[in-house]
Chain A
């Protein structure tokens, strides 16, 4: 699967889609593939303030747990409650229905620190470490 254009990516395999003054966050296809079948996601509550690359929660499969990091600073304004009953959405549709949170972007300049789709693709090709 190619990594969608128009999104920004972190070195920890999160993506962020800018929607006005907000950003929708999830994990990439590569990340869900590495994890295997997702069994549980630990997400923050609405209203939580996060700094760029602060741990926002964790995603669990049968054999691994991965911490989730917030691509930009901001306040959590939406949480995907569908993931509670159907964590497998993260595997099935990581860029769509598998979205995790929406944050209000505090400082748009922080986005420049993130990778574009092409940069992320090269990052993966080089071993993603």
Chain B
């Protein structure tokens, strides 16, 4: 077996050196009744060629956003990733390295994370960022928990326009601690109802959590939401599921956010059926000791050379144990590296240009779909690259099914998430959608709508 170099002869030599007759002697302390008898019931080993044939065969009939025309978003986005990203992260020194606990031989990883932390701060307008969380939903839950720790308050206010799965994660995380969640509905324009938001915030509110652009693609009044939280001494937590928007939109840090989390997948990480993804987590310097996750800091070695180390580790599980700011250990290192490389390659101009392409193509699609027979735009709030379309004549699932058969993934049906919007679907347009694709979508919808 090519992954296991030691032959039977090697093993016999080592067993003799250990002073036992067989490998069974090394397992003698395992009670007989819990030993595996015979073989595990797994399929027999595949050669490399047969393995790849099997893997290809598994997905031969599956759709993907390359071979289909995709307008799917909702927290997972089809974006351009520069080719060099993949080549660089596949370097063995990055791919097969461990967490940088021994800084002398991990400076590559450590400096890259320091650069990543900087880029996240620049994108979000915040003062300090960590080395990554698992993904957007759990990052948001951890942000809410951090606000609870920082304020000592037992209630949180969450906008209903936050991604439904993110809200579900918040509920799961908060349930054992008895922290109460108040959800605030959206208004006619598709953004959070600010009047109801202000009314929901009390002296018991640890934080207000909003997402912008929200699940419907609408840009929220983040400054107003933050002010509402601050008015009663709570924190403002802002989630960004589509961080490409930060190339163009005012960053939450400039709008009063105390903690910003984001789903970083859009930068350099493939959609990959939902993971591995990348959680951004950024906050103000004054909260740095309450922050979960790893942090890399700059320092010097004994000869005065600039170097990087993991720092402020006493917050973390391996030291603080049950009093840690989180239990997170392994995070999303290589995904953060991919995002770093992608952001460096896009650079100041590219990150803005990419955002502009998204905005303009989505606006073009929006304009056409607004005029398609049997369809209407459901909300009139400003949007970035996603928007909600209402189907007035046919059931949404029927429409989406018919278009899928024409190799078009037209959007995400909202019935599962918002029963009152069961006649709607969410359309996402990125720089990856060519004009003829958008025209094709409009034609296919208008034709059968």
Residue B306 lies at the interface, judged by CB distance under 8 Å to chain A: no
Residues of B within 8 A of A63 (CB): 313-314, 319
Main secondary structure of the interface of B (DSSP, over half): helix
Q: Is A65 an interface residue when CB atoms closer than 8 A count as contact?
A: yes
Shortest CB-to-CB span from B89 to chain A, Å, is 31
Residue A1 lies at the interface, judged by CB distance under 8 Å to chain B: no
Q: How far apart are the CA atoms of A61 and B320 in the complex, in Å?
A: 12
A-side contacts of B149, CB under 8 Å: none
With both chains docked as a complex, state the minimum distance between the C-beta of B315 and any C-beta of chain A, in angstroms.
8
Q: Which residue of B lies closest to A42 (CB)?
A: B289
Number of A residues whose C-beta is below 8 Å from B? Answer: 8
Question: Which residues of chain A (59-79) have a CB below 8 Å from chain B?
Answer: 60-65
Across the interface, which residues of B come within 8 angstroms of A62, CB to CB? 313-314
B373-386 near A? 1/0 per residue, CB < 8 Å:
00000000000000
Q: Which residue of A lies closest to B321 (CB)?
A: A65
Contact A65 B320 (CB under 8 A): yes
Contact A64 B289 (CB under 8 A): no
The answer to whether A30 has its CB under 8 Å from any CB of chain B is: no
Taking CB as reference atom, which chain A residue is nearest B315? A65
What are the residues of chain A within 8 A of B289 when measuring CB–CB?
40, 42
What residues on B are CB-neighbors of A61 within 8 Å? Answer: 314
Task: Please give me the residue from chain A that is nearest to B309 by CB atom.
Answer: A62
Closest to A61 in B: B314
Q: How far is the CB of A73 from chain B (nearest CB, A)?
A: 22
Interface residues of B (CB under 8 A from A): 289, 313-314, 319-320, 323
Residues of A within 8 A of B (CB): 40, 42, 60-65
10 pairs of residues in contact across A and B, judged by CB atoms under 8 Å? A40-B289, A60-B314, A62-B313, A62-B314, A63-B314, A63-B319, A64-B319, A65-B314, A65-B319, A65-B320
Sort A-B residue pairs by CB-CB distance and give the 5 closest, nearest first.
A65-B314, A60-B314, A65-B320, A64-B319, A65-B319
